[in-house]
Amino acid sequence: MFDQRDEAGLVGAEVLPFVVLVFVVGTLMFAQAWTALDAKLAVIAGAGEAARAFVEHPGGRASDATGSAVTAGTAAISGYRIDGTGAIAPVGMPRLARCERVTFEASQEVPQLALARSRRSSMIIRARASEIVDPFRHGLGGRAPCQMPS
């Protein structure tokens, strides 16, 4: 006769390694998603800070404003303390003139989880932000083309 008490708990012992594997892989995937989200927040802040620093630069030279913007954007990204390399660059040739739209792109390289591959790869997270130079800003010559006629 077959006794059911002899096989009690046998299925639980077989499933336990699978549950541990799913937990470990799930934890690694969560960590990867968290890193990507953190990098996305960093590049959004970096691009926004770069665009803001450009349009608020006190001088009248675009090259000085671009240098100031890159410095401010890089500092914003580095404040998040993410592993990998980050960069800030203007999109096109920004002009420091009234009503000009300037756009900056920030990118951050983030290590990617490598479970099935032997070599580590990375992904690049990007964000763009743009600002318009104030039409009533002091220190810039010329008339504002976007100013409404009175």
Q: What is the pLDDT of residues 8-36, one digit of tens each?
A: 555 667 788 888 889 988 888 898 888 88
pLDDT per residue as tens digits for the range 74-126: 999 988 888 777 899 999 999 888 888 999 999 998 887 766 555 667 889 99
* Biggest CA-to-CA distance, the chain: 102
Pick the more confident residue, 24 or 149: 24
Residue 124 contacts by C-beta under 8 Å, 6 or more apart in sequence?
Answer: 107, 108, 109, 110
Question: Quick check: 4 pLDDT over 70?
Answer: no
pLDDT of 139 > 80? The answer is no
Q: Are 49 and 72 in contact (CB under 8 A)?
A: yes
Nearest Cα residue to 69 out of 55, 82, 80, 58: 55
- The runs of H, that is alpha helices, within the chain are 10-55, 62-78
Residue 73's pLDDT is 94
Domain limits, the chain: 11-132
Instruction: Indicate the pTM of the whole model.
Output: 0.77
Q: What pLDDT is recorded for position 17?
A: 84
